[in-house]
Amino acid sequence: MKIVTAKRVVHKGEKRIALEFEIDHEISALIRNVDDVRWSATMKCWHMPDTKESINDMFQVLKGKIYFDYSALKMVVANKSAGAKSMMMSIRDREFPALSESDKADIYALRKWMEHKRYGASTIKTYISMLSRFFRYVKPKNASECDPGDVVKYVNEYIIPAGLSYAFQNQTINSLRLFYSEIYDDSLVVENLDRPRAEHKLPNVLSKGEIKRMLESTGNLKHKAMLSLIYACGLRRCELLGLMLTDVDSKRGVLMIRQSKGKKDRIVPISEKTINMLREYARAYRPERYLFEGQVKGSGYSPTSIEKVLKESCKKAGIDKPVTLHWLRHSFATHLLESGTDLRYIQELLGHSSSRTTEIYTHVSLKSIQNIKSPFDTL
């Protein structure tokens, strides 16, 4: 089997990851799908940025085609920052025992059941990952021997000390509840697996001025079109990257979003201004299948690459906030609400099943809040 081996290097004063493999045109074509992969004449190898995003991108590009040996990148690097952060990282990076054959069989059975039920690929991947980590943690116990006490121990001794999120804990519980209800039909275990207390966080929103500055700071036409479309139509990242050329109906002025979260289709209006922007982009880049493609024609654009594009644009625009692509979707909904759009229409545009999900934007809209006068002002 063809192998690409990764190792850390310093090239021209910059931390990079060298990619070593026997000369092969197929591998060379594949690895160039990852952003900022370059050839070094001095090292006589390809190299890429030493970032978690690049490593993940390379793994996804080579997955199922070329074996990517990145074991050298997992080595503990000396002199990491001390204190709580390094302790959390060491807990997170702990090596757990391998799964037993019986656990592998049980997890595989759940995967096939989820596929039969047409769960989304990302949901299946998340659940299988959560189960694998938990059952490796509780070794030497097998899945058939676990009880709710093992879950409490996992939360208190691994999830919380490692600084993992509420969402991670909740997804772990969800995956275990599904596993024990479908594979073992164990209602006793399921009933005693409590989810963590719900968090109530407000969505993060950028002002219209910040959105405009960010887009104006995006020089690349494709990147600008991608970020603009997320804000213009309130898209999720996966919805943007899954758009096909045929999903843009310029005659009707709508954008078709297919099989999104909850396996639902929906349409959203798309303005003439946005359509003209997409036409300009299409003339320049000539996409063949997806509306936005990677460096190889017909292949999808990298999810981590568009996140990096956003962060770079925000940096250039002087926006010193931890902005994510989902902030643009939140901003779309909030700005619509502030302009007087009915909440029911916003719910349809966002693809929310429940109006309660959409109502959270009323808590960040400034339309009514700014009309409230503090009693301090009347003193």
- Tell me how far apart the alpha carbons of residues 225 and 212 are, in angstroms, rounded to a whole number: 13
The question of whether 361 is a catalytic residue gets the answer: yes
Question: Is the peptide bond preceding residue 287 cis, with omega within 30 degrees of 0?
Answer: no
> Which listed residue (154, 158, 231, 361) is catalytic?
361
From residue 62, give the alpha-carbon distance in Å to each of 25, 59, 179, 365: 14, 5, 30, 44
Query: Looking at 47, 223, 224, 352, which residue is catalytic?
Result: 352
Q: Which of 32, 133, 261, 316 is catalytic?
A: 261
Residue 326 annotated in active site:
yes
| Catalytically annotated residue among 47, 329, 330, 335 | 329
What is the side-by-side strand order in the sheet with 254-257? 248-249, 254-257, 266-269
* CA–CA dist 151, 170 (Å, integer): 12
Beta-carbon contacts of 264 under 8 Å, excluding residues fewer than 6 positions away, are 351, 353
Residue length of the chain: 379
Ordered DSSP codes for 69-116: E-GGGGSPPTT---SHHHHHHHHHTPPPPPPPHHHHHHHHHHHHHHHH
Q: Which amino acid is at 157?
A: E
Q: Catalytic: which of 223, 236, 330, 335? A: 236
Q: Is 236 one of the annotated active-site residues of the chain?
A: yes
Determine whether 352 is an active site residue: yes
Q: Which residues are catalytic?
A: 236, 261, 326, 329, 352, 361
